[in-house]
Structure 1
Amino acid sequence: MNPDDPRAVRSRTRLRAAVLELATAKDPAAITMSEVAKRAGVNRTTVYQHFPDVNALVTDAMEEAVAQVAGAAALCPLDAPRDEVPQPLETLFRHVTDSAALYRHMLGPQGSARFAARMRERLTAELAASFRAGRRPPGFDDVPPETHAAYLAGALIGVLATWITDEVPAPAEETALAFWRLFRP
């Protein structure tokens, strides 16, 4: 199968949309390939031609969200005041709020480990690149940029997961400000 074939592209697009709709309604671990096929309007064999399992499909479908999270975190201006959430971080928390049900399922206890790992990897890479380019908070010269980036990536994912899966999540602005204060002591 040629992945650039327009039919293959259409099928993958429909599969991604279908799995995200399903992941908004229930935990990814409970989604079956048959459900995805039915929702996408394709044969189950078609699903397996493109993805080995639901977890791989969910991770692929969430790649744009991962890129958005990583990009927003890496764009935070280091000179922003400690008590004022930078616009990229505010945008990131608003994005998670807008897709709260999906993120709740993806980052919750029954969520996708592959998605969380991919998010951590991408976020770490974006932050490390930003740090190597000179966009690093002062006072961390004794810590390798990759280690610093991994630490912050894990912290951000942990904060997002705890916040979005809380029974009554705090307002996005409040949580974003708390994270920024931790990021910029």
Structure 2
Amino acid sequence: MNKADRVDPRVARTRVLLQTAALELAAERDLDKITIAHVAERATINRATVYQHYRDRDELFLEAMEGELTALTAVVARCPLTTMPDEMPQAMVGVFQHVEANLVLYQRMLGPCGSARFIDRLHRLVAEAAVQQLTETGTRTPDNPEVQMQADCSAGAFIGLLRHWLLGPEVQPAERAAATAWRALVRSDRR
């Protein structure tokens, strides 16, 4: 590691403080009610310092959620995203359980006042997992436009099911929601 690649420990600590403050606030209120000033106050950091690290609030929230996105994508990648087997895999329940463990945070991030950058990043990560599934046999390549389109459709459907579950009038337990989502995916796959 050369000197240019090292992150000053003070910068890393400040970023952790800001990300933690942002996630704490997101658990308490809708994202559109959170300002940079709120985050700075919670992190006990000067507001100008926030802008030294992040262009805007959405960039801060996206970086704060990066670890969560990585964990969710790892669980989603174990789900069949492009071809539905007859039986629901346990990984499907795992996705809903993972989201349920941080229910309020996901409701805020994926909700109507949520973060478009977060939704876009999640879509891209799920689509990448779908591309991998579509090309693992070696008969199709990742740069094939049809593969890309099918992966985007699969990602959109998967995220749409999560949003429907999270934003509906009643949030079902993860196991029941996964079964309901699975039935919807299988029906659309078989048409």
Fold shared, TM-score > 0.5 on shorter chain: yes
Where does 1:124-163 land on structure 2 (aligned, <5 Å)? Answer: 124-134=127-137, 144-163=146-165
Alignment identity in percent? Answer: 38
Higher mean displacement: 86-95 or 72-81 = 72-81
Correspondence for 1:109: 112
For structure 1, list consecutive stretches of 5 or more residues without a partner in the other structure: 137-142
Partners in 2 of 1:162 and 1:120 — Cα distance? 15
Change (3 A) 1:145 1:106: same
1:2 CA drift (Å): 8.0
1:126 CA drift (Å): 2.1
Partners in 1 of 2:115 and 2:151 — Cα distance? 22
Q: Secondary structure at the match of 2:172?
A: coil
Partners in 1 of 2:113 and 2:84 — Cα distance? 36
Correspondence for 1:175: 177
**Partner amino acid for 2:86?**
R
**Partner amino acid for 1:26?**
R
Correspondence for 1:41: 44
RMSD of aligned alpha carbons: 2.5
Q: Retained in 2: the 8 A contact 1:69–1:123?
A: no
**Partner amino acid for 1:154?**
G
1:80 CA drift (Å): 8.3
The count of aligned residue pairs is: 178
Q: Secondary structure at the match of 1:144?
A: helix
Higher mean displacement: 98-107 or 61-70 = 61-70
Partners in 1 of 2:41 and 2:28 — Cα distance? 15
Is 2:27 the counterpart of 1:20? no
TM normalised by structure 2 equals 0.83
Change (3 A) 1:135 1:21: farther
Partners in 1 of 2:70 and 2:155 — Cα distance? 13
